[in-house]
Amino acid sequence: MLMALVMMVGCDPVTYDVFATICGTVVNCDTMEPLEGVSVILSPSGKSKITGTDGYFEFAEVEAMQYTLTVQKAGYSTNRKSVNAIAGETTDVTITMDVKK
């Protein structure tokens, strides 16, 4: 009995990843150059990020589910993209933006 108890205490519990990461780059659709200062909004979470000089954004440790990314920047048309966040994985996306005419 004591040996069984010692063996059970020594076992590591199985853990599962329940969170995901969504990352990507926002680029100009004509030049494919990265866009700095783009507001990236993750819905339905309501979290937001601003892209750096490399156009990169990242939402870490989000729940695994479907999201909509909305990108906005003055002088550009707003764009949206649906993404599926999968537990334990990183979803990498590229979102393009058109210059307003």
Does residue 69 belong to any structural domain of this protein?
yes
Range list of β-strands (E), 1-101: 19-28, 39-43, 47-50, 56-63, 66-72, 79-84, 90-97
Domain that holds residue 26: 16-97
Q: Within its chain, how far is the Cα of 7 from the centroid?
A: 40
pLDDT tens-place string over residues 48-87: 999 999 999 999 999 999 999 999 999 999 999 999 999 9
Q: Which CATH number does the domain housing residue 27 bear?
A: 2.60.40.10
Does residue 36 belong to any structural domain of this protein?
yes
The rounded distance, in Å, linking the Cα atoms of 55 and 51 is 5
- pLDDT value of position 69: 98
Does residue 92 belong to any structural domain of this protein?
yes
How many structural domains does the chain have? 1
Does residue 9 belong to any structural domain of this protein?
no
- pLDDT value of position 73: 98
Does residue 6 belong to any structural domain of this protein?
no
In the Cβ-directed half-sphere of 80, how many Cα atoms lie within 13 Å? 6
Does residue 2 belong to any structural domain of this protein?
no
The bridge status of strand 90-97 relative to strand 19-28 is parallel
pLDDT tens-place string over residues 25-37: 999 999 999 999 9
The pTM of the full predicted model, rounded to 2 decimals, is: 0.82
